[in-house]
Chains A and B, each alone.
Chain A
Amino acid sequence: MLQRTHVVLSLALGAMLMVSAATGLLLSTSTLVEHLQSAPALGENVAAVAERIAGHVQGIERIERAPSGELRVTFSNASDSDAVLVDPSTGEVIAPYRPSAALSWIRDLHRELLLGSAGRWLSGLAALALLVLVATGAWLLARRLGGWRRLLLPIPPGKGLSHWHTVVARWTLPALAILALSGLYLSASSQGLISDGQESEPSYPQARYSAPAAKLGSLSALRTLDLQDLRELEFPSDSQDANFFTLRTASGDGFVNPGSGQWISYQRHGFARRLYETAYELHTGAHSPLWALILGGVSLCVLFLSGSGVFAWWQRKHLAGALPGNAPPDQAEIILLVGSQGGTTWSYARQLHEQLLAGGRRVHCASMNQLQPRYPDAKCLLLLTSTYGDGQAPDSANAFLGLLNRSPLPKDLQVAVLGFGDAQFQHFCGYARQVEQNLQQRGLSLLLPLRCIDRGSLSELNLWARQLGEQLGLDLHFTHVQPRVAMRRLQLLSREVYGEHSESPAAILRFALTETPQARGLLCRRRRATRFAPGDLLAISPGIGATPRFYSIASSDDDDALEICVRKQAGGLCSSRLHALQVGDSIEGFIQPHPDFRPTAGRHPVILVGAGTGLAPLIGFARKNAHRRPIHLYWGGRSEQSEFLYETELSEYLADGRLTQLGLAFSQAAMPMYVQDRLRRDASALAALLQDGAQVLVCGSRGMAAGVRGVLEPLLQQLGSSVEKLRLQGRYREDVY
């Protein structure tokens, strides 16, 4: 309910709030500039300053002091009449007073949206909305952080816009509340709903005085008034006619007898007036440059909060799609939470949601980051999550484990976790595993054990669905979901085949990349150009509905072609199709970023180890080694004569320094050797490199990768480290198949 109020209100009044914030930012900036431009006059009294000004300006009508300290003098004499800015210390005219038309336009926009007094209601509404948003936001924040007291404790680190929404909101809440309250008050008082104590001025004295006007500088009421406290000094309209000075100060208003210099009918400001002035000061920062600066910052934060809030809402809406029939969290018996990076996991969640609803269950489906502190009616919790990077949480789940710490899930809640991932990667379903362990540590029992789905395999999915259906007494099943990726048309530019007459030849294929136009609306067609780098993967599907095969890319998008290296596998659909392609033929595929498999930035040496077609990403890394960092490449092939992939390029890179060292091993040579053997021969050199902080990247078959670990592990042990330690430091990475 609160969250709903928070979201609905910010969506409904978001545009108006943003206008208020943007104009508020400009206004506070101009207030700050005004503060900085006017020099403070310390310890001066009004009489001295007024006399000084009168020495330079003839026919003064009035002297006003702006809260910033700016002195504005209106005068009218025989030759001229104008308003000017005056330097209080010298009394000299600085410049004519010309309030900026743009600024007053901005102020009108801020106060009344340029709609006249009708607009003041709207601005008041915006202030009221801000107040409600602050209140609901504080409540949500407290709930999210796990209690009101935690509002003051550090917020656990996180990522993403919604995390920063929380962080920024926490720091600005008090100032926002002040802005909203004072804005509401000012708006109400401008509508006449609240008295600001300015309606009744003391009446102008009727009596005339008889004494002749004394010298300006000698008037005691002015002499005892500090310039800081002056608001306005209005001169007698006609000095011959025994008129009075009107004097308005910070604490009260009245008149001054020009003869005696005494106050006449002085009236102290009442409570209403003081309240109004306090609200005005708090809302505008007119009296303090520091507060004006803070207000400017807060306005910026309001812009950020509105933007990030609306964006997060849109993202949730977009990812979750419409979930018709979704039950509120406090009424649902089944809680279905989704951790999704790209949205594929969501599409499975939607299928499940639909079928559970059709089975008459009350289901609440949300992203994992929307974990609620309480699910009073829940019997079972289903978690569908992918894994991001090296076993990290996907975007929509990155706050889940933190939230879980503050969410006392009932012990009788039964849990089932379904992980999505790609078994080719090291941390297959790593995050799903982590989530399940965490839930078990909390004493929750498992409805079903964790199941990891490899590349959306439908048979594995339906196995899980059947088990879940048995537990719940429903018939559940999944249908295949086409991953929402941009398919590309790849046209073969060139092919280079090695070991053509062997059973399993290898080929270097270079493709031109063109986009497949998709008729899915304007927005989807305007996609930015595909970016890729060596180490990223090209996915090719062997047939409709089948899971794709991934090939490491050896080039980047600034090269002319997308280059991969493929060995023809006996009975392999994909590799056979790729090998059968002739120059000019096309095939469809998509690019899967693989940011973890590439050298980390820096100048530390890099050890690249590969076998067979696993050379593709490694040669790509060497190719891009413009800074000539030391790269040591170890590669194992079959035959030096028929299958020396990239032979000419490798020698070229050795010659120009992009490669420091090349270690070769051929399994079909007179003295057969594998790449592991080659590494072992260089053990001491490798140990030295590792000691220097070298990073290891391995690409090839699982068997080879295991062999390489077998060689390097003892070396690392001697150095007091291990493969696992290096892996945790991001210095040991594998891309295996």
Chain B
Amino acid sequence: MNKTAFTLALAGAAALPALGQAREITLQTTLKEYRGNEAYLAIYVTDAQGDYQRTLWVSGKKAKYYKHLRDWAHAGNQPAEFDGLTGASVGSGETLEVSVELEDALIDAGYEIRIDSAVEDKRDNRAEIKVPLSQQATEISGGAQGYVDSFRYQF
């Protein structure tokens, strides 16, 4: 499959409560080449203990498959949590690029960004990406098990 980058610019999308200052974070997730259907992804913020804080983005429209985004589903699967923060599922080799609002309070405060992923008839991955949330633009490669080839964010 060709590497298609689809960009979803989200105008004023933050449905998050405006706790103080917020800024825009751009998330870029590139998937590996794998055989199978398009992947569902949940990109969210947890504290250092892994406790859920915020949903940043959910790829995949059908709520009935959200239970396969295992860790995220335990806390973040209430519709209010991701209202306006969903888009299409992401295919093999494709890149998802989204910009969302994020409160300053979560930056450089020991929080991290995690990604849960699932593909029909294939493995569900809990937190296949775990990356500290800091002010610097950061890039990280995915593990052997997951579908994510690389993930980067910048402000």
Beta-carbon contact of B122 and A204 below 8 Å:
no
Q: What separation, in Å, do the CA atoms of A81 and B143 have in the docked complex?
A: 11
Known A81-B145, A99-B121: A199·B74 in contact at CB below 8 Å: no
Inter-chain contact B64/A196, CB cutoff 8 Å: yes
Chain B residues closer than 8 Å to A196, beta-carbon distance? 64
Which residue from A99, A199, A237, A241 sits with its C-beta under 8 Å from B63? A199
Chain B nearest CB from A465 CB (Å) reads 68
Instruction: Confirm or deny: B23 has a beta carbon within 8 angstroms of a beta carbon on chain A.
Output: no
**How far is it, in angstroms, between the C-alpha of A108 and the C-alpha of B67 when the chains are bound?**
22
Bound CA span A108–B91, Å: 15
Of A99, A198, A201, A241, the contact of B122 (CB 8 Å cutoff): A99
Q: Which residues of chain B come closer than 8 Å to A200, judged between CB atoms?
A: 63
A192 to B145: give the CA distance in the assembly, Å: 31
Q: Chain A contacts of B49 at CB under 8 A?
A: 241
Chain B residues within 8 Å of A38, by CB: none
Whether the Cβ atoms of B124 and A74 lie closer than 8 Å is yes
Contact of B121 among A104, A198, A199 (CB under 8 A): A104
Q: Which of A61, A62, A104 contacts B36 (CB 8 A)?
A: A104
Interface 0/1 of A198-228, CB less than 8 Å to B: 1111011000000000000000000000000
Within B1-40, which residues are at the interface with A (CB < 8 Å)?
35-37
Known: A74-B124, A99-B121, A237-B126. A201 touches B71 (CB 8 A): no
Partner of A74, one of B36, B50, B66, B123: B123
> Do A237 and B64 touch (CB < 8 A)?
no
* Pairwise interchain contact B145-A237, C-beta atoms closer than 8 A: no
Q: How large is the interface on A (under 10, 10 to 19, 20 to 34, 35 or more residues)?
A: 20 to 34
Residue of A nearest to B64 (CB): A198
Contact assessment for B50 and A238 in the assembled complex, using a CB-CB cutoff below 8 Å: yes
Q: Does B70 contact A (CB under 8 A)?
A: yes
Whether a CB of chain A sits under 8 angstroms from the CB of B106 is no
Q: Could you count the A-B residue pairs with CB atoms below 8 Å apart for me: how many are there?
A: 42
Residue B137 at the chain A interface, CB threshold 8 Å: no
Bound Cα distance A192, B61 (Å): 10
A273 to chain B, nearest CB (A): 10
Flag if A83 contacts B50 (CB, 8 Å).
no
* Distance between Cα atoms of A207 and B116 in the complex (Å): 23
In the assembled complex, the Cα of A317 lies from the Cα of B52 at a distance in Å of: 68
B 54-76 to A, binary, CB cutoff 8 A, 1 in contact else 0? 00000000111011001101110
B53 within 8 A of A: no
Are A201 and B77 in contact (CB-based, < 8 A)?
A: yes
Known contacts A101-B35, A237-B126; decide if A192 and B62 are in contact (CB<8 Å). yes
B136: Cβ under 8 A from any A Cβ: no
Docked Cα-Cα span, A76 to B144, in Å, equals 12
B18 to chain A, nearest CB (A): 24
Is B36 a contact of A241 with CB atoms below 8 Å?
no
Q: How far is the CA of A200 from the CA of B77 in the complex (A)?
A: 9
Min CB distance, B46 to chain A, in Å? 12
B12 to chain A, nearest CB (A): 27
Question: A51 an interface residue at 8 Å Cβ cutoff?
Answer: no
- Docked Cα-Cα span, A46 to B96, in Å, equals 40
The docked-state distance in angstroms from the alpha carbon of A74 to that of B71 is: 15
User: Nearest Cβ distance between residue A232 and chain B, in whole angstroms?
Assistant: 9
Closest residue on chain B to residue A81 by CB atoms: B145
Contact B78 A203 (CB under 8 A): yes
Asked if B75 and A204 make an inter-chain contact with CB atoms under 8 angstroms apart, the answer reads: yes
Task: Report chain B residues within 8 Å CB of A238.
Answer: 50
Q: With A61-B126, A104-B36, A204-B73 in contact, is A199–B64 under 8 Å at CB?
A: yes
- Residues in A with CB closer than 8 Å to B37 are 104, 108
Give A72 to B62 CA distance when docked, in angstroms. 24
What residues on A are CB-neighbors of B74 within 8 Å? 204, 237, 243, 246
Q: Could you tell me the distance between the alpha carbons of A297 and B121 in the complex, rounded to whole angstroms?
A: 26
Kindly state whether residue A234 has any CB partner on chain B within 8 Å. yes
- CB <8 Å contact, A83 and B63: no
In the assembled complex, the Cα of A198 lies from the Cα of B67 at a distance in Å of 9
Minimum C-beta distance from B21 to chain A (A): 29
* Chain A residues with CB under 8 A of B121: 99, 104
A241 and B50 in contact, given A81-B145, A104-B121 (Cβ under 8 angstroms):
yes
Bound-complex Cα distance A234 to B70 (A): 9
Report whether A201 and B73 are in contact in the complex, using a CB–CB cutoff of 8 Å.
Answer: yes
A83 contact from B35, B75, B123, Cβ within 8 A: B123
Known contacts A74-B124, A99-B121, A198-B64; is A237 also within 8 Å of B78 by CB?
A: no
Q: Indicate if the CB atoms of A237 and B70 lie closer than 8 Å.
A: yes
Would you give the shortest CB distance from B137 to chain A, in whole angstroms? Answer: 29
**Once bound together, how far apart are the Cα atoms of A104 and B122, in whole Å?**
11
Whole-angstrom distance between the Cβ of B134 and the nearest chain A Cβ? 24
Contacts of A62 in B (CB 8 A): 124
Contacts of B123 in A (CB 8 A): 74, 83
Residues of A within 8 A of B122 (CB): 99
Closest B residue to A203 by CB, please name it.
B78
State in angstroms the CA–CA spacing of A234 and B37 once bound together: 23
B119: min CB distance to chain A, Å = 10
> CB-nearest residue of chain B relative to A116?
B38
Residues of B within 8 A of A241 (CB): 49-50
Within 8 A of A (CB), among B110-131: 120-124, 126
- Asked whether A237 and B73 contact (CB < 8 A) given A83-B123, A199-B63, the answer is no
The 8 A CB mask of B70-106 against A (1 = contact, 0 = none) is 1101110110000000000000000000000000000
State how many angstroms separate the Cβ of A733 from the closest Cβ of chain B: 66
Q: Contact between B62 and A201 (Cβ–Cβ < 8 Å)?
A: no
Q: In the complex, are the beta carbons of B67 and A201 less than 8 A apart? A: yes
CB distance from B87 to the nearest CB of A (A): 14
Q: Which residues of chain B are near A76, meaning CB under 8 Å? A: 145
- A99-119 CB contact bits vs B (8 Å, 1 = yes)? 101001000100000000000
CA distance A200 to B62 in the complex (A): 11
Considering the chains assembled together, what is the distance between the CA atoms of A340 and B145 in angstroms? 69
Q: Which residue of B is nearest A276, CB measured?
A: B64
Residues of chain A within 8 A (CB-CB) of B124 are 62, 74
Minimum C-beta distance from A97 to chain B (A): 9
Interface centre among A76, A108, A201 (most CB of B within 10 A): A201
Q: A99-B121, A99-B122, A104-B121 are in contact. Are A237 and B71 (CB under 8 A)?
A: yes
Interchain CA distance A193-B4 in the complex, whole Å: 30
* Shortest Cβ gap from B8 to chain A (Å): 18
Residue with the highest number of chain A CB atoms closer than 10 Å, among B62, B74, B78, B121: B74
Task: Name 11 interchain pairs, CB-CB below 8 A, sorted by A.
Answer: A74-B124, A104-B120, A104-B121, A108-B37, A201-B66, A203-B77, A204-B75, A234-B70, A237-B71, A243-B74, A246-B74
New A-B contacts (12) at CB < 8 Å, excluding given A61-B126, A201-B73, A201-B77: A74-B124, A81-B145, A108-B37, A198-B63, A198-B64, A199-B64, A203-B78, A204-B74, A237-B70, A237-B126, A241-B49, A241-B50
Binding site for A on B (CB under 8 A): 35-37, 49-50, 62-64, 66-67, 70-71, 73-75, 77-78, 120-124, 126, 145
